[in-house]
Amino acid sequence: MSLSWLPNAISLLRIVLVVPILSSILNGNFGLALALFFVAGFSDGIDGYLAKRFDWHSRTGALLDPVADKLLVAGTFITLAYTQHIAVWLTAVVILRDLVIVGGALAYNYFVRPVPGEPTRISKLNTALQLLFLLFVLSRAGFGWPDKISITVLGASVLITVVISGVDYVLSWSKRARAGE
C-alpha cells in the first residue's frame, strides 16, 4: 500500500492545528501554543521532505502546503500582534508580502500560464526565519526566554528577508511574464 497520501495528511494536520494554536494564544496559554506551533512548524519540513524523497507530489499537495503555511504564519502573526506580543507594523509587512505574492501568482496564472510552484531560496529562508521568530516570541511570552534582544535581531532578519523575497518574486515573475515563460 502506497503512503503517497501522507504529505497531504500532514499539511491538513497543520491546517487543523491553526485553530488551537490561535485559541491558546488568545487564552494566554503560551506553553500549549508553543508546543502546537512547534509540531506544526516541524510538520512543514516533514511533508516537504516526504514529497521530495519519495516523489509523492500531487496537485492537492501543491495547493495544501502553501495554504497551510500561510494560515499558520499569518494567523499566528495577526494573533500575536492583537495580543501585543509582535509589532503591528511588522505583521502588516509580512501580510502585505503574502498578499502581493498570492495576488501576483493569481494574475500570473490567469494572464501568462500556471505558476511555477517551487519557492525561491530566499523565500525558504524567509519562511524558516518567520517560524523561528514566532517560536521565540511564543517562548518569551510563555517562559520569559529568549531575551528581548534575540527577538529584536530575529525580527529584523524577518523584516529584511520579507522585503527581499517579496521584491525577488515580483521581479522574477515580471521578467518571466514579459518573456512569455
What pLDDT is stored for residue 117 in this prediction? Answer: 67
Euclidean distance between CA atoms 66 and 85, whole angstroms: 25
Domains of the chain: 6-179 (1.20.120.1760)
What pLDDT is stored for residue 176 in this prediction? Answer: 83
What pLDDT is stored for residue 113 in this prediction? Answer: 83
- Left if phi > 0, otherwise alpha if psi is -120 to 50, otherwise beta: which for 55? left
Q: What does pLDDT average to in each consecutive run of 10 residues of the chain (181 residues)?
A: 92 97 99 98 92 91 90 98 98 97 87 79 94 98 96 98 96 85 69
The answer to whether 85 and 28 have CB atoms below 8 angstroms apart is no
Residue 143: closest CA among 44, 40, 38: 38
